[in-house]
Structure 1
Amino acid sequence: MRPYHKATLFIAASALSISASAHIGAQSHSHNSFIDGFLHPLLGMDHLAAMVAVGLWSALAARRAGPDLLWGPLGFAALLLVGAVLGLQGVAVPAVEPMIAASLLATGLLVATRLRVPGIVAALGVGAFAFFHGAAHGYELAGDGQAWQTLAGMLLATVLLHCAGLAAGWALRQRHVWLARAAGAGVAAFGGALLLQMT
Structure 2
Amino acid sequence: MFSKTSKFSGLLGACFLAPSLAFAHAGVGQTIGFVHGLAHPVSGLDHVLAMVLVGVLAWQLGGRALWLVPTTFVSVMAAAGALGMMGISVPFVEAGIASSVIVLGALIGLNIRAPVAVAAGLVGLFAVFHGHAHGSEIPSAADGLTYAAGFMLASAALHVAGIALGRLIGSASEPQRATVMRSAGGLAAIAGIGLLTGLI
TM-score between the two structures when normalised by the length of structure 1: 0.76
Q: Partners in 2 of 1:194 and 1:68 — Cα distance? A: 27
Residue 113 and residue 61 in structure 1: after superposition, are their counterparts in 2 closer, same or farther (change >3 A)? farther
Number of matched pairs: 166
Report the AA paired with residue 116 of structure 1. Answer: R
Match of residue 132, structure 1, among 129, 133, 137: 129
Say which structure is richer in helix.
Answer: 2
Q: Partners in 2 of 1:145 and 1:164 — Cα distance? A: 27
Q: Partners in 2 of 1:39 and 1:183 — Cα distance? A: 25
Query: Are the aligned partners of 1:98 and 1:195 in contact in 2 as well (CA < 8 Å)?
Result: yes
Q: Partners in 1 of 2:170 and 2:142 — Cα distance? A: 44
After TM superposition, list the pairs within 5 Å mapping 1:1-199 onto structure 2: 32-62=32-62, 66-141=63-138, 144-173=141-170, 175=172, 176-177=176-177, 178-197=179-198
User: Which runs of at least 4 in structure 1 moved beyond 3 Å after TM superposition?
Assistant: 142-145
Q: Deviations over 1:119-150 (max 9, x none)?
A: 22111101101110111121112754412211
Query: Are the aligned partners of 1:60 and 1:111 in contact in 2 as well (CA < 8 Å)?
Result: yes
Report the AA paired with residue 121 of structure 2. Answer: L
Q: Partners in 1 of 2:136 and 2:32 — Cα distance? A: 13
Query: Are the aligned partners of 2:56 and 2:165 in contact in 1 as well (CA < 8 Å)?
Result: yes
Q: Partners in 2 of 1:156 and 1:97 — Cα distance? A: 22
Structure 1 residues not aligned, in runs of 5+: 1-30
Q: Give the Å deviation of 1:42.
A: 2.3
Q: Give the Å deviation of 1:76.
A: 1.0
Query: Are the aligned partners of 2:33 and 2:142 in contact in 1 as well (CA < 8 Å)?
Result: no
Structure 2 residues not aligned, in runs of 5+: 1-30
TM-score between the two structures when normalised by the length of structure 2: 0.76
Matched-pair identity in %: 37
Tell me how large the CA RMSD over aligned residues is.
2.1
Report the AA paired with residue 186 of structure 1. Answer: L
Q: Deviations over 1:55-107 (max 9, x none)?
A: 11111232xxx423122211111111111011112212111111111111111
Report the AA paired with residue 84 of structure 1. Answer: G
Query: Are the aligned partners of 2:46 and 2:195 in contact in 1 as well (CA < 8 Å)?
Result: no
Structure having the higher Rg? 2
Report the AA paired with residue 149 of structure 2. Answer: A
| Further displaced range: 181-190 or 169-178 | 169-178
